[in-house]
Each structure stands twice: as structure tokens, then as C-alpha cells.
Amino acid sequence: MIISLLKVVTAEDKTMHLNAEMELEEFRTKAGRFPIIEKEPVEFVIRHVKNRQVLISGKTKVVISIPCDRCLKEVPYEFLIEFEKDVNLNELNQSEAHDETAEEKNYIDGYNLDVDKLLYNEILIGWPMKILCCEDCKGICNVCGQNLNEGTCDCEDTSLDPRMSVIRDVFKNFKEV
Ligand SMILES: [Zn+2]
Ligand SMILES: [Zn+2]
């Protein structure tokens, strides 16, 4: 959804309240595609401070399904998003395409605010370092792929022998390279 900022810059100190929808259905990164399973309308408050300097604030809640790092089970992860952006439309419209400010504020094009792009950036910033379905997730068996939270398998269990587990970890690290 695109919000036009034209109306708000017509008068100094003018404030606009509105709810906007995020149209994104899935979140794509280099790491993969993650379905967005729940989203609330984005509550925007947009204020024209003066001379086309605009303060954009807002909040929303988005739930994205992300696989557990250990067992790959889908985990609904809740993003509580709150932002406040200080945008100078004069600067943005003058700057070159490669300019850092323009790149950072890629959600503004002329007087148009792209809700999806803004939220995409916010979600990316809040992306968790680690996702676990539960704190003591046992993961999956390296050999047969059995989810060890749901049952055991007949593969040789080396986890009780510390010497073996060191070797296994080395092997695991080697595989990840
Ligand atoms: Zn898990
Ligand atoms: Zn197994």
C-alpha cells in the first residue's frame, strides 16, 4: 500500500492519522521465504513538522512462520514493530540514487510512502538470531532425519560419549562450510 504524503505537507504542524495494510504475504530474504501468518493494520501518525520535514511513526504486529534452527518445525514468531522516522523530503528528492540516505529511506519515492518496504526493513532489523521451537529442542537425527522431540530412532547414539560428540561437532562444522 502506498500513502501519499502530499496532503500532510500542505500546512505546517499538520498531523495525519491512518491505518494502512501491509500487502506482503511472505517475507523473502537470502535465507529463504517465510510465510506471514498474521498481521494487524499499521497505525500511522504522520506529522509535517515544517518545510517538508516529516515525522512518520507507527506500530503494528506481524507473525511470521520461521523454522526451528534445530528441528525445522515451523515456529510462529511475533514481531512487535514500532518505528519513528524523521524524513526530510527536500533532501531525499535532491539526493542521488546511490546516496546513503536515499538507500536507507528506500520506502519513500517522491511524496509516496511505501508501507511494505518500510515494514520489510523493520522486520529485517528485528529478525531473531536464533529460533527454537522450545528451549530444549533435541533437534533431528543427523543420520535418518527423525525429529528427536517426537520419538527416537535406531541410529547409533553418540551423544553420551563426549569423545564422539567432539568428533561429531567437528564433522558438523566441516559440513557447514
Ligand atoms: Zn525444534
Ligand atoms: Zn536416526
Kindly report, residue by residue over 40-69, the tens digit of the pLDDT: 999 999 999 999 999 999 999 999 999 999
User: What confidence score (pLDDT) does residue 158 get?
Assistant: 57
Other beta carbons less than 10 A from residue 72's beta carbon: 13
Residue 76's domain comprises: 2-125
Q: How does residue 26 score in pLDDT terms, banded at 50, 70 and 90? A: very high
Both 14 and 65 in one domain: the answer is yes
CA distance linking residue 77 with residue 128, whole number of Å: 9
| Ligand whose nearest atom lies closest to the CA of 138 | 1
Q: How far is the CA of 131 from the centre of ligand 1 (A)?
A: 8
- Give the three-class secondary structure for 162: helix
Both 67 and 154 in one domain: the answer is no
Q: Could you tell me if residue 52 is inside a domain?
A: yes
Buried b (16+ CB within 10 A) or exposed e, 90-107: eebeeeeeeeeebeebeb
Q: How far is the CA of 55 from the centre of ligand 2 (A)?
A: 55
Residues in the chain: 177
Q: How far is the CA of 150 from the centre of ligand 1 (A)?
A: 10
CA distance linking residue 27 with residue 29, whole number of Å: 7
Q: Could you tell me if residue 131 is inside a domain?
A: no
Q: Could you tell me if residue 176 is inside a domain?
A: yes
The three cell numbers locating residue 138: 533435541
Please count the structural domains in the chain: 2
| Start-to-end CA span in the chain (Å) | 40
| Ligand whose nearest atom lies closest to the CA of 157 | 2
Residue finishing a domain among 125, 148, 166: 125
Both 95 and 26 in one domain: the answer is yes
Q: How far is the CA of 63 from the centre of ligand 1 (A)?
A: 18
Average pLDDT of the segment spanning 96-101: 59
Q: Could you tell me if residue 132 is inside a domain?
A: no
Both 102 and 162 in one domain: the answer is no
Q: How far is the CA of 132 from the centre of ligand 2 (A)?
A: 20
Both 41 and 107 in one domain: the answer is yes
Both 142 and 121 in one domain: the answer is no
**pLDDT tens digit sequence for 102-156:** 667 889 998 999 999 999 999 999 999 999 999 999 999 999 999 999 999 999 7
Both 80 and 157 in one domain: the answer is no
Q: Could you tell me if residue 133 is inside a domain?
A: no
